[in-house]
């Protein structure tokens, strides 16, 4: 017999949908959340609030609450755009302190087998930004995975005819590595040593 009350079972099922959470961590988390009423209600509220208040910047697709922390900052270098897959990748790059330009979040990578082409990403908007002029360099900082590499190469072919310099964030990151998982020093070094991309 399953002794878990239906609402507890529902909670554990929801927790197990989170990345990296298996049946045992779900039990531990549920136990904690049932004991700590204040924490549980605060987590519930922050989930709703994040969805009510946060959206994507319509220019660069970073997460923004009101104004964009980058596009709306007059102090940024508008001649360089760093292209990443997800907002979290930009957060990691920003934390290195080595980049003062603008970002462009693709919101994914090309993945033909899953039916994800350029139209499913924010590629057209990136091309528009470059075509609008003033951009001298586009740094491709997609992850160093098969999909990330393919996406970077695709964008280079697309952007080079527009007369903009393209570069790829330097290897130095572990191969197959997710940019958000790299430590700050490695990431800073990889960014400084970026190379031109043909």
Pick the closer one to Zn ion by CB: 29 or 71.
71
Specify whether the CB–CB gap between 172 and 193 falls below 8 A.
yes
Site string for its own copies, 162-191 (x = CB under 8 A): ------------------xx----------
Distance in Å, CB of 156 to its own copies, minimum: 25
Pick the closer one to its own copies by CB: 1 or 132.
1
Distance in Å, CB of 188 to its own copies, minimum: 14
Which does residue 59 bind out of its own copies, Zn ion, none, counting CB within 5 to 8 angstroms by kind?
Answer: Zn ion
Pick the closer one to Zn ion by CB: 57 or 155.
57
Binding-site size for its own copies (CB under 8 A) equals 59
Q: How far apart are CA 34 and CA 190, in angstroms?
A: 44
């Amino acid at each position: 017999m399953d002794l878990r009350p239906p609402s507890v079972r529902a909670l554990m099922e929801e927790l197990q949908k989170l990345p990296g959470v298996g049946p045992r961590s779900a039990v531990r988390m549920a136990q904690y959340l049932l004991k700590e009423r204040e924490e549980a209600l605060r987590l519930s509220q922050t989930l709703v609030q994040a969805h009510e208040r946060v959206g994507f910047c319509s220019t660069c697709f970073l997460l923004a609450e009101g104004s964009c922390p980058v596009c709306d900052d007059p102090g940024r270098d508008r001649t360089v755009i760093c292209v990443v897959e997800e907002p979290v990748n930009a957060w990691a790059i920003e934390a290195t302190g080595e980049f003062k330009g603008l970002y462009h979040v693709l919101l994914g990578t090309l993945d033909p087998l899953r039916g994800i082409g350029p139209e499913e990403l924010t590629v057209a908007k990136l091309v528009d930004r470059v075509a609008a002029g003033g951009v001298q360099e586009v740094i491709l900082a997609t992850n160093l995975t098969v999909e990330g590499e393919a996406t970077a190469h695709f964008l280079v072919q697309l952007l080079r005819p527009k007369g903009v310099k393209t570069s790829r964030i330097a290897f130095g990151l572990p191969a197959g590595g997710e940019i958000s998982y790299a430590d700050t020093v490695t990431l800073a070094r990889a960014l400084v040593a970026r190379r031109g991309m043909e």
